[in-house]
Amino acid sequence: MTWSKLPIKTKLILLTFITSVFGILILSASLIWYENLTYRQQISQELNVIGNMLADRSNAALVFGDVSQLKDNINSLKLRESITLGCIYNEKNQVLATFSRSGKLGCPDKPRSTSGVFEDDHFYTVQDIMLDGEVIGRLYIESTLEELRRHLQNYVATATIVSALAVLGLLIISAILQRTVTTPLLHLSETATRIANDKNYRLRAELESFDEIGELTKSFNAMLETIEYQNKEILKSYGSLERQVEIRTAELKAANQELEAFSYSVSHDLRQPLRAIDGYSEAIAEDCSEKLDELAVEYLGRIRSASGRMSMLIDSMLTLSRVTRHKLDCEEVDLSQIVEGIASELRSAHPNRDVTMTIAPNVKAKGDERLLHIALSNLVENAWKYSSKKESAHIEFGVINKREGAVYFVKDDGAGFDMKYADRLFVAFNRLHTPSEFEGSGIGLATVFRIITRHRGRIWAESEPSRGSTFYFTLNVQ
């Protein structure tokens, strides 16, 4: 587990632990070092004092060659337990008397005067034996450092136990004291998490301390205050916006319905007088043609063709308004079959035209059959119409399967159009060709556009003048 993942509580306790252990270690080490130093100084001092006294006591015996007295003197060293070896030399470095605790004799050959030397496991001192300012011999004393070693061992053991207890105590204290730091922080964190989870901005963190955490808590609460206020504002404006949308939608709906009713009734009511115009024109042409001259008959023909065009326009407008009002009735539709039907109708209506139809088989889609029939008729009829200037034309219906879905197309090799007018293509009454070039109401593509839009699809066209055009569309209903 990495340090950054540890909870703050553990971090604080660990910090205390590490610092206290570090401090106690340094303290203990320096105490042990100091103890070792002073203990050595003590040993050195003590043995030097003993040595001085013994050397002073022994000068007479040395000068009068009283070896038994010297032996008595040196044997007094046995009272000091740490002393393992003592030797008295005359001025020619000959050993005259020896004390050895272990019985082993190991007096060095030529001891040199020193106030104390520490070796690995022993200490020794060599004192001059003086008489009236002259050196008459030497005293060698050797002491084991076992005592120092044991003393230091005890010292280390005691220091370890005391340190361990101190660390334990510090841990307990820090475990208690860390709560004063972490508890407010934990509470703050809990509150923040709860707010993040429940999205309840009415909650507030409790102010428990007056340090930086307290400041944080205050700022946090202030932020919550702001969020709550802003939420209220948003909800308020959202509510009014929704109401406005509702009002506008209702208005729009009413206007639309009015418009539809209007266009429906207009187109419906327009039929009546038109039928009268057409009917009487026909009656005049049939019954009174002999009374009319050639010019009048021609004008009558024009009236009749104009009224026929108007009837077609009204039909288209009716279809458009029906398409808008019609409720979608979705099912699986065989588009290929529909196109076949339209093609055979067109063939029988125009038997003298040479048009090759390529219809991809089994192209199926979900949609309203009646509306799709209207859309496909418009597209195929357009293709038929705009390729009529060619001696032999080719019309194709098919589907391209793309990742985002099926794209259907109707393609011809007729007149085509300039792509810069493409955006006007699907607007009602916008025609790219004059009626003298190609007949048409200008409503057909608007109707197709509305049908495809109602199927949540998209329609677009690609073309080039006199090289034909392709209409693509997608359908997106389930």
Q: In whole angstroms, what is the distance from residue 263 CA to residue 315 CA?
A: 11
Q: Which is nearer to another protein, 93 or 163 (CB)?
A: 93
Query: Residues in the site for another protein, rule: CB under 8 A?
Result: 57, 59-61, 63-66, 69, 90-92, 131-132, 134-136
Q: Are 76 and 68 in contact (CB under 8 A)?
A: no
**Which CB atom, from 132 or from 287, has the smaller least distance to another protein?**
132
What lies within 8 Å, CB to CB, of 381 at 6+ separation is 342, 346, 444
Lookup: tokens for 182? 């972490």
Nearest distance in Å: CB 125, another protein: 22
Quick one: 136 or 376, whose CB is closer to another protein? 136
Instruction: Give the Cβ contact number of residue 416 at 10 Å.
Output: 20
Q: Which of residues 69 and 209 has its CB atom nearest to another protein in the complex?
A: 69
- Beta strand pairing call for 134-144 and 122-131: antiparallel
DSSP strands (E only) in 280-338: 330-334
Contact 96, 70 (CB under 8 A): yes
Q: Give CA angle at 48 (44, 51), nearest 5°.
A: 140
Closest listed residue to residue 373, CA positions, set 399, 407, 408, 334: 334
Cβ proximity to another protein, 61 vs 313, nearer residue: 61
Task: Give the Cα separation of 343 and 358 in Å (integer).
Answer: 10
Q: What residues does 469 pair with on adjacent strands?
A: 463
Q: How far is the CB of 112 from another protein (least distance, A)?
A: 18
Q: What are the φ/ψ torsions at residue 238 (nearest 5 degrees)? A: -60, -45
Nearer CB in complex with another protein: 55/205: 55
Smallest CA-to-CA distance from 140 within 119, 103, 110 is with: 110
Rg, Å, the chain Cα set: 60
State the nearest-atom distance from the C-beta of 138 to another protein, in Å: 13
Quote the least distance from Cβ 26 to another protein, whole Å.
53
Nearest distance, CB of residue 132 and another protein, angstroms: 5
Phi-psi region of 65 (alpha: psi -120 to 50; beta: other; left: phi over 0): left
Q: Which residues of 136-169 are buried (b: 16+ CB within 10 A; e: fewer)?
A: bbbbbbbbbbeebeebbeebeeebeeebeebbee
3-class DSSP state of 199: coil
Collapsing DSSP to helix, strand or coil, 379 comes out as helix
Nearer to another protein, 65 or 279 (CB): 65
Min CB(131)–another protein separation in Å: 6
Q: How far apart are CA 162 and CA 167, in angstroms?
A: 9
Q: Which is nearer to another protein, 77 or 96 (CB)?
A: 96
User: Which of 59/84 has CB closer to another protein?
Assistant: 59
d(CA 38, CA 46): 12
Please classify residue 340 by burial: count the beta carbons closer than 10 Å to its beta carbon, then call 0-12 exposed, 13-18 middle and 19+ buried: middle
As measured in angstroms, the least distance from the Cβ of 83 to another protein is 22
Please identify, using beta-carbon distances, which residue of 13 and 61 lies nearer to another protein.
61
Could you tell me the two tokens for 314? 């009204």
Phi first, then psi, for residue 298 (nearest 5°) are -65, -45
Q: How far is the CB of 43 from another protein (least distance, A)?
A: 28
Q: Rank residues 138 and 373 by Cβ distance to another protein and give the closer one.
A: 138
